């Protein structure tokens, strides 16, 4: 007796399930491809600027494309997928990376937030301290000219470069007001939520525009 098409389909699905059970595998056990996103900072070379600290925290790093919104790999806990880094911009071409397990597909965008920008040094010989966006800052949305195709067994990479020299273009720190260092030692330049706020807003805007997805 010939089974109806729907019945034959059900039998086939049951057979596939039995074979998977026999060999101990499950469709969700198949590892997802990995996209590695590397962040690199260009060396800081600005006349009159000397820095001893230059760090920025990046978080909520995501890759977007034609696949569903990325989630944690099957069987993993969400907090096991690292999506934040602390990038030290001193010491030459500083770099750091995150690796994201993603559904198969073509990815062409990277998004992230930046916060906790810390700069310590001197500007034209005057002590400098910059503390910006202490909490979650603006969202950066970058698009690649060529996407990364992720398939089973085929991983991908993206490289993002940040140029901190763009932050200080046109001697922006010249417009910052100095204040007396309460610990002694003369004047200093402080740029944070209470001091030189206009300069801080401009620096924050420039930081968001200084990332390039290559």
pLDDT band at 25 (very low <50, low <70, confident <90, very high): very low
Q: Could you identify the residue written with the tokens 């993993």?
A: 76
pLDDT band at 119 (very low <50, low <70, confident <90, very high): very high
d(C-alpha 171, C-alpha 46), whole Å: 9
Task: Quick: pLDDT tens for 145-182.
Answer: 889 999 998 999 999 999 999 999 999 999 999 998 88
Assigned token pair, 84: 């934040």
> Is the pLDDT higher at 86 or at 95?
86
What average pLDDT does range 111-138 have in this prediction?
A: 95
d(C-alpha 162, C-alpha 200), whole Å: 18
The residue ranges of every structural domain in the chain are: 1-29, 31-213
**Residue 148 in contact with residue 107, Cβ under 8 Å?**
yes
Which residues, 6 or more positions from 128, have their beta carbon under 8 angstroms from its beta carbon?
Answer: 49, 51, 119, 120, 121, 122, 173, 188, 189, 191
With CA atoms as reference, report the closest residue to 70 among 26, 27, 115, 34.
34
């Amino acid at each position: 007796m010939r089974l109806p098409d729907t019945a034959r389909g059900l039998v086939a699905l049951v057979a596939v399930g039995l074979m998977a059970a026999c060999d101990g595998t499950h469709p969700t056990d198949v590892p997802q491809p990995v996209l590695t996103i590397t962040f690199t900072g260009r060396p800081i070379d600005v006349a009159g600027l000397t820095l001893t600290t230059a760090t920025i925290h990046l978080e909520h790093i995501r890759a977007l494309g034609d696949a569903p919104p990325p989630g944690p790999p099957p069987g993993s806990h969400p907090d096991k997928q690292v999506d934040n880094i602390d990038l030290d911009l001193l010491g030459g071409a500083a770099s750091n990376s995150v690796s994201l397990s993603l559904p198969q597909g073509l990815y062409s965008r990277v998004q992230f937030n930046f916060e906790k920008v810390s700069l310590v040094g001197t500007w034209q010989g005057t002590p400098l301290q910059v503390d910006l966006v202490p909490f979650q800052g603006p969202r950066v949305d970058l698009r690649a000219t060529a996407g990364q195709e992720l398939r089973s067994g085929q991983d991908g990479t993206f490289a993002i470069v940040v140029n901190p020299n763009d932050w200080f273009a046109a001697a922006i720190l010249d417009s910052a007001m100095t204040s007396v260092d309460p610990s002694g030692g003369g004047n200093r330049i402080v740029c944070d939520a209470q001091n030189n706020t206009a300069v801080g807003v401009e620096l924050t805007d420039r930081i968001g525009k200084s990332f390039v997805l290559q």
